Chain A
Amino acid sequence: MSAEGQRAAGQAAAGQGGPAAAAPVVEAQGVDLTFMTADGPVQALKAVDLTIRKGEFVSFIGPSGCGKTTFLRCVAALERPTGGTLTVNGMSPDAARRARAYGYVFQAAGLYPWRTIAGNVRLPLEIMGYPRAEQAARVARVLELVELAGFERKFPWQLSGGMQQRASIARALAFDADILLMDEPFGALDEIVRDRLNEELLRLWARTGKTTLFVTHSIPEAVYLSTRIVVMSPRPGRITDVIDSPLPRDRPLEIRDSRAFIEIAHRVREGLRAGHGDAV
């Protein structure tokens, strides 16, 4: 299939959900994943049921080994579930990947050191075969969006860690996928930078309306960002609680001192503790 054709397919797939805001984007039913390791089978995911609807911001939180990253990788078709059904935009994760349905932001910025910032953001556009003029326009637009305008010609090592991660977010936004998958994108950054990027990410989400799946192990980050919080526990990785956030969509940083915020954070912490308790 030509790049042009694939893009068209992607747009058709995005349209499949229809104009209804509540169309399911990710549907998981009884998803299991068992890794075969040298020490025997390891169950990374067990009976995960979850429906994520268009425009939601869903955080996955849990201790390491709870399968939150593995679930995200399943959605991205980087891992294949060994049981259950998982659909993305109504198709298999593989088909969704081929339709370029999502942008993925990794734990580390992972910019190619031999490309400038603009060159890194352009990478997916080159691979997907966008015309040159459109590439330039899109790069300029998304760099503006993540407040990196003016840094086009810098190389990654010339930017701070926070700026590099913003560039990698711009790279994931460049080709207009309507799902954003983020795997602990701010995990390696200090608290102050993380707060700023969290604010920016919320603004970005409000402006673009992308369905966002966000893996984190920070409770305040999960509560501050999400419309829904999925609490997971390890051995085997499974969902122990799903919390709908009553917080308004417009969230200043001060909201973290409000009673509602503290109550959700408390419930998340309880969920994590319970999950840990019955695993031991």
Chain B
Amino acid sequence: MRAALPVLAVLAAVVVLWYLGAVWLNAQWTIDQAARAGRTVTFWEIVADAMGQRRPLLPPPHQVGAALWEGIAGQPVTSKRSLVYHAVVTVEATFAGFLLGTAIGILLAVGIVYSRVLDLTVMPWAIISQTIPIVALAPMIVVVSNRIGIGDWLGVENRLVSKTIIAAYLSFFPVLVSMVKGLRSPDAMQVDLLATYNATGWQGFWKLRLPASAPYFFASLKVAVAAALVGAIVGELPTGAVDGLGARMLVASQFGQPLLMWAALFAAAAVAGVLILAVAAVERVAGRRMGVRP
């Protein structure tokens, strides 16, 4: 309860500011309409109107909430108008990209830690890869992966493949950086100890380096899962994709449906929150088994 109080206070402040912003930003439209009709409006009429416009510049929280509720509970989940349906599509690509990106990050980190050649060659490219804006790269990834047709080969949609690649592209990097640091974290004494047992390099990896990297790994997973979600959504923007939260946002903005856009935005935020909580839960279970001080 004591912990919840500051959180609730901040939340309340955000809602108040949001309402003020909605009044301020939506007022112009009300004033323009009135001017066109040759009327004048009072302050309270502006406020009342700002709470319920059909295409507000900034919809107030209760309108977004209603649109979100309508999108989640107001339709069968199989409907193309259901946010649950679109969220599932996005989460699929997020998961696939997250798993692929994590695997690539771990493998590259192991390579970098054990091979000097890879250390010198891979790391600069990995860093450069993250400086390219993903929105510039995403359309090319979509076109190329569609042309190659990996999806046909794997028996899944090509759209899913391109989104997965983009999500993996964003999520491998935090895992790579953290795992390199984590795998190098054992100190000289811990390494010497294994030398006194005449342990093989393989044993050094499984019994020392890999477990030592666990805290770094879980810290990076939270970043990686959020990055994968962003990747999946960005992957849905330029593809002419019809499904997914990203596609929903794009369509809503193109057809002047701000309420739908905001609802999709909040749905994406909620999905991100759930994914990060899930990773945190896995981390807690692993931490308990690995003797992390509570």
B199, chain A: closest CB distance, angstroms = 5
B126 at the interface (CB under 8 A from A): no
| A96-104, A143-151, A187-195, A271-279: which lies at the interface | A96-104
Q: Are A127 and B207 in contact (CB under 8 A)?
A: yes
Pick the residue among B190, B198, B291 that contacts A98 (CB under 8 A): B198
Per the bound structure, the CA–CA distance linking A100 and B197 in Å amounts to: 6
Per the bound structure, the CA–CA distance linking A200 and B291 in Å amounts to: 28
Q: Are A106 and B291 in contact (CB under 8 A)?
A: no
A270 at the interface (CB under 8 A from B): no
Instruction: List chain B residues, Cβ under 8 A from A128.
Output: 197
Instruction: List chain A residues, Cβ under 8 A from B211.
Output: 112, 114-115
Q: Are A100 and B193 in contact (CB under 8 A)?
A: no
Per the bound structure, the CA–CA distance linking A215 and B193 in Å amounts to: 17
A68, chain B: closest CB distance, angstroms = 16
Instruction: List chain A residues, Cβ under 8 A from B219.
Output: none
Instruction: List chain B residues, Cβ under 8 A from A104.
Output: 192-193, 196
Q: Are B290 and A114 in contact (CB under 8 A)?
A: yes
Q: Are B293 and A157 in contact (CB under 8 A)?
A: yes
Contact with B along A100-124 (1 / 0, CB 8 A): 1011101110101111100000011
Chain B 201-243 residues near chain A, CB threshold 8 A: 203, 207-208, 211-212, 214
Q: Are B291 and A155 in contact (CB under 8 A)?
A: yes
Per the bound structure, the CA–CA distance linking A118 and B42 in Å amounts to: 78
Q: Are B203 and A127 in contact (CB under 8 A)?
A: yes
Q: Are B192 and A106 in contact (CB under 8 A)?
A: yes
Q: Are A100 and B189 in contact (CB under 8 A)?
A: no
Q: Are B291 and A156 in contact (CB under 8 A)?
A: yes
Contact with A along B73-116 (1 / 0, CB 8 A): 00000000000000000000000000000000000000000000
Instruction: List chain A residues, Cβ under 8 A from B57.
Output: none
B20, chain A: closest CB distance, angstroms = 50
B194 at the interface (CB under 8 A from A): yes
A6 at the interface (CB under 8 A from B): yes
Instruction: List chain A residues, Cβ under 8 A from B193.
Output: 104, 106, 110
Q: Are B189 and A97 in contact (CB under 8 A)?
A: no
B69, chain A: closest CB distance, angstroms = 45
Q: Are B291 and A113 in contact (CB under 8 A)?
A: yes
A8, chain B: closest CB distance, angstroms = 14
Q: Are B189 and A114 in contact (CB under 8 A)?
A: no
Q: What residue of chain B has the Cβ atom nearest to residue A129's Cβ?
A: B203
Instruction: List chain A residues, Cβ under 8 A from B190.
Output: 110, 112
Q: What residue of chain B has the Cβ atom nearest to residue A100's Cβ?
A: B198
Chain B 239-292 residues near chain A, CB threshold 8 A: 290-291
Instruction: List chain B residues, Cβ under 8 A from A124.
Output: 197
A73, chain B: closest CB distance, angstroms = 8
B195 at the interface (CB under 8 A from A): yes
Q: Are A127 and B192 in contact (CB under 8 A)?
A: no
Pick the residue among B198, B203, B212 that contacts A97 (CB under 8 A): B198
B110, chain A: closest CB distance, angstroms = 19
Pick the residue among B195, B198, B207 that contacts A123 (CB under 8 A): B207
Q: Are A6 and B198 in contact (CB under 8 A)?
A: yes
A142 at the interface (CB under 8 A from B): no
A126 at the interface (CB under 8 A from B): yes
A76 at the interface (CB under 8 A from B): yes
A22 at the interface (CB under 8 A from B): no
A204 at the interface (CB under 8 A from B): no
Q: What residue of chain A has the Cβ atom nearest to residue B195's Cβ?
A: A78
Interface centre among A6, A98, A114, A126 (most CB of B within 10 A): A114
Per the bound structure, the CA–CA distance linking A56 and B165 in Å amounts to: 65
Pick the residue among B189, B195, B207, B290 that contacts A126 (CB under 8 A): B207
Q: What residues of chain A have their CB less than 8 Å away from a CB belonging to chain B?
A: 6, 76-78, 97-98, 100, 102-104, 106-108, 110, 112-116, 123-124, 126-128, 155-157, 175
Q: What residues of chain B have their CB less than 8 Å away from a CB belonging to chain A?
A: 189-190, 192-199, 203, 207-208, 211-212, 214, 290-291, 293
26 A-B pairs with C-beta separation under 8 A: A6-B198, A76-B196, A97-B196, A97-B198, A98-B198, A100-B197, A102-B196, A103-B196, A106-B189, A106-B193, A108-B189, A110-B189, A110-B190, A112-B208, A112-B211, A112-B212, A113-B290, A114-B211, A114-B212, A114-B290, A114-B291, A116-B291, A127-B194, A128-B197, A156-B291, A157-B291
Please provide the 9 A-B residue pairs with the shortest distance between their CB atoms, ordered closest to farther: A155-B291, A114-B290, A104-B196, A127-B199, A127-B197, A114-B211, A124-B197, A110-B189, A98-B198
